[in-house]
Amino acid sequence: MRVELNPAKSTSRVEVRVRFGETDLMGIVHHASYLSYFEAARVAWLRRRGVTYATWAARGWHLPVVEASVRYRAPARFEDVLAVDVTLAEVRSHSMRFAYVVTRDGDKLAPVIATGDTRLACVDSSHVLQQLPGALLEVLARGEHAVAHDAVC
């Protein structure tokens, strides 16, 4: 099954408030914190399409991050509310790539704070690479409002 990526269906926005422990001695969000923001956005992206990671894991499907990149553009600070736009950017036979754009929420003139990508591979419970299952591909093709937020795949 081939997944047609529709930009209107493949993007979600998640808000994240910067916590004190995510900042460094300069009061700026520590570079590693952005990977946590990406994860929170990605998990919300999946949940909004009716799936939880626990549901997939129970079926023996695991999606470890196998590649990650972050490009830092401007600082964010404690108590900033950040908007993380997450897009399913690419689906391959055994992996998928999500792209992220982080801005200060509500500030239309604010610069982009960070951008990044993560690639997730599909493995079974023994950590052996496998093709993305058809049921998983169906979920990836859904729009954000295609299912109830608390539904599961």
List the pLDDT tens digit at each of the 153 positions of the chain: 556 777 677 899 999 999 999 999 999 999 999 999 999 999 999 899 888 888 888 999 999 999 999 999 999 999 999 999 999 999 999 999 999 999 997 777 778 999 999 999 999 999 999 999 988 888 888 877 644 443 333
Asked if residue 152 belongs to a domain, the reply is no
Asked if residue 3 belongs to a domain, the reply is no
Find how far residue 127's CA is from the centre of its chain: 21
* pTM greater than 0.85: yes
For residue 151, the SS3 value is coil
Asked if residue 2 belongs to a domain, the reply is no
Asked if residue 148 belongs to a domain, the reply is no
Q: Measure the CA–CA gap between 113 and 76, rounded to whole angstroms.
A: 7
Asked if residue 150 belongs to a domain, the reply is no
Radius of gyration of the chain (CA): 16
As given in the structure block, the two tokens for residue 100 are: 């992220």
Count structural domains, the chain.
Answer: 1
Which domain, by its residues, includes 63?
11-141
Asked if residue 61 belongs to a domain, the reply is yes
Q: Where would I find the beta strands (DSSP E) of the chain?
A: 11-17, 65-72, 81-91, 95-104, 114-121
Q: Measure the CA–CA gap between 99 and 12, rounded to whole angstroms.
A: 11
